[in-house]
Structure 1
Amino acid sequence: MMVSVLEPPSPVVTVSEARAHLRIDHPDDDGLLETLIKAATGWLDGPAGWLGRCIGGQVLELRMARWPSRGSDMALPYLPVVQIVQIAHINTDGTEQVIDPALYRLTGNRLWFMPDFVAPLQSCQPLPVRIRYRAGYGAFDAQGAWVNDAPASIKAAILMLVGQWYANPEAVSTNASTDTMPFAVEALLQPYRVLS
């Protein structure tokens, strides 16, 4: 099983929110703030993130070696799962076949295959089964734009990291380990962390 990000996450914190948090009243450092926001979010978000979940709305692709059995379900990693984009597989002749959406259903972060789903023969290629899904906090608005609604404590933690890195722009060495998260940030995030 392998999960990759096909569509990068939508922003969770805006530059304006970072400016307000840092009490900055000029746009001179907006580029730096945007970079720090992306770095902080990337440290926490998605398959490579510390939280083990998706924060910003994004499209993931789960690739598997074989189909689950019909009438069964499977948990999709990196919740919250919002919608299935597409399920497909590589046929024995090397072409891709899309599975009819009537043959599966999403309930929470669980993907159910209906009793009449018959697993097609698949290629000998590695990981021929592909499940694309949207995950993250939020929903689409009437204009089709993603509106993030991440919990306030996650947004606060990202802003705290941005503030720390903005105030200390150079790498520093202290007695603390360099791979640990600041205590206040970890305390805010701990309830949302998914441990595997």
Structure 2
Amino acid sequence: MRFEVLTRPASDPLLLDEVKDHLRVDGGDDDASFGALIEAATACLEAHLGAALVARDVHIFLDHIPMSTAPARLPVRPIAALDAVEVKLADGTWQAVAQEAVSFRPGLSPEVALLGAVTVNAGQREPLRLSARAGFGEHWNAVPLVIRQALLQLVAYLYTHRGDIGEGANALVASGASALVSTYRQVRL
């Protein structure tokens, strides 16, 4: 199971001005560095949480056909909308699955299942493609406050430790960001 990002988010989950206020930095000398740190911290926290913070369109490829008795948990979350479900045909093209034949649970623990029989070729790799909208919302202000605070702490840690080689400390743990977002972390057993 994998996913591909089709569109970039409309905004970063943090504003440059709030990062500068948090760090008590005046002037614009480090603005480009702050932008890079926001992007790095966002990528790090999204990977840690398995979540898209700001909305974007994604394709999710499943390696099996989930049926109603065993729905598939999706690899990216939260999922706000499922736009299309398609099955791969023998010639490699995609055919839409009727919406009424799909069971979908949105949110932080998104799941999908097909309610009827779907024919796929034996041995077909990634026979199912989902088109979805992933993220907490369209803009930075839809990201939960505790996640935004964790991002601020992570950016601050990366900024104050820039250039440090150190002992390879995990920035998520050292900054306290990991502890802040622990309730949003998806744990698989």
TM range (shorter): 0.7 to 0.9
Identity %: 26
- CA contact 1:81–1:133 (8 Å) conserved in 2: yes
Residue of structure 1 in register with 2:133 after alignment = 134
Task: Name 2:155's counterpart in structure 1.
Answer: 162
Range moving further from structure 2, 156-165 or 102-111: 102-111
Contact 2:57/2:132 (CA < 8 Å) preserved in 1? yes
Matched AA of 1:163: A
Residue 96 (structure 1) aligns with: 94
Q: What residue in structure 2 maps to residue 55 of structure 1?
A: 53
Specify the alignment match of 2:32 in structure 1: 31
Which residue type is aligned with residue 189 of structure 1?
Answer: V
In 1, the alpha carbon distance for the partners of 2:187 and 2:152 equals: 23
- 1:179 is aligned to 2:180: no
Question: Would you say how many aligned residue pairs link Structure 1 and Structure 2?
Answer: 182
Which residue in 2 is equivalent to 1:143? none
| TM-score for the superposition, normalised by structure 2 | 0.82
What's the CA shift for 1:74? 3.0
Aligned match of 2:62: 64
> Which amino acid letter does the alignment assign opposite residue 40 of structure 1?
A
Q: Does 1:76 align with 2:74?
A: yes
In the alignment, the residues of structure 1 paired with residue 73 and residue 56 of structure 2 have an alpha-carbon distance, to the nearest angstrom, of: 18
Which ranges of structure 2 fall in alignment gaps of 5 or more residues?
none
Q: Secondary structure at the match of 1:182?
A: helix
Is 1:188 paired with 2:189? Answer: no
1:71 Cα deviation (Å)? Answer: 7.0
1:106: Cα distance to partner? 2.5
Q: Which residue of 1 aligns with 2:3?
A: 3
Pair 1:113-2:106 in alignment: no
CA distance in 2, matches of 1:125, 1:67: 11
Give me the whole-angstrom Cα distance separating, in 2, the residues matched to 1:179 and 1:166. Answer: 14
Aligned equivalents of 1:112, 1:170: Cα separation in 2: 47
TM-score (norm 1): 0.79
Query: Residues 72-128 of structure 1: CA distance to partner in whole angstroms, max 9, x if unpaired?
Result: 6333233221111321122113222122323224223222434xx331334754213
Secondary structure of 1:50 counterpart: helix
Distance (Å, rounded) in 2 between the aligned partners of 1:130 and 1:4: 10
Q: Is the 8 A contact 1:92 1:124 kept in 2?
A: no
Counterpart of 1:128 in structure 2: which amino acid? P
Q: Are 1:153 and 2:146 matched, yes or no?
A: yes
More helix per residue: 2
Specify the code of the residue in structure 2 equivalent to 1:4. Answer: E
SS of the residue aligned with 1:7? coil
Q: Give, in angstroms, the shift of residue 137 of structure 1.
A: 1.0
Runs of 5+ in structure 1 lacking a partner?
139-145
